[in-house]
């Protein structure tokens, strides 16, 4: 049996990325560090909302940040997160194909 504390930690980590804006931020940061001043306009949402998402992902250990003057730069802490997202992509696509096949069979 897996330790329930570990399950809670896993659940919190997955919740931290299980939100469309946060996923968009992750994909935007995939190719490297970016200033919050670049991230915020790209997300086309309220600055305070994006700042909360960035802070939450940093606090969860998904992102790292550094300050340079008045600018804050964010980067992905562990690129293996994209391995996880790739597996999710494969599962989602397989589910779509299965549903499409069932629709064709039933039609």
pLDDT digits (tens, 9 = 90+) for 2-26: 888 999 999 999 999 999 999 999 9
Give residue-wise pLDDT tens across range 55-79: 999 999 999 999 999 999 999 999 9
Q: pTM here?
A: 0.86
Cβ atoms of 44 and 59 closer than 8 Å: no
Backbone angles phi, psi at 103, to 5 degrees: -65, -45
Q: Which residues pair with 64 in a beta bridge?
A: 75
Give one DSSP letter per residue of 70-93, joined into a string: TEEEEEES-TTHHHHHHHHHHHHH
- Phi, psi (5° rounding) for residue 72? -115, 130
- Note the pLDDT of residue 68: 96
Give the pLDDT score at 56.
96
CATH C-level class of 4-78: mainly alpha
């Amino acid at each position: 049996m897996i330790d329930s504390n570990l399950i809670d930690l896993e659940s919190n980590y997955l919740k931290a990325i299980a939100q469309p804006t946060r996923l968009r931020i992750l994909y935007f940061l995939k190719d490297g560090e970016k200033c919050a001043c670049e991230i915020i306009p790209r997300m086309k949402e309220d600055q305070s909302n994006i700042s909360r998402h960035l802070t939450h992902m940093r606090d969860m250990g998904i992102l790292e940040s550094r300050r340079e003057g008045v600018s804050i730069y964010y980067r992905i802490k562990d690129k293996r997160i994209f391995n996880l997202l790739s597996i999710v992509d494969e599962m989602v696509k397989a589910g779509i194909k299965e549903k499409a096949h069932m629709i064709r069979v039933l039609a």
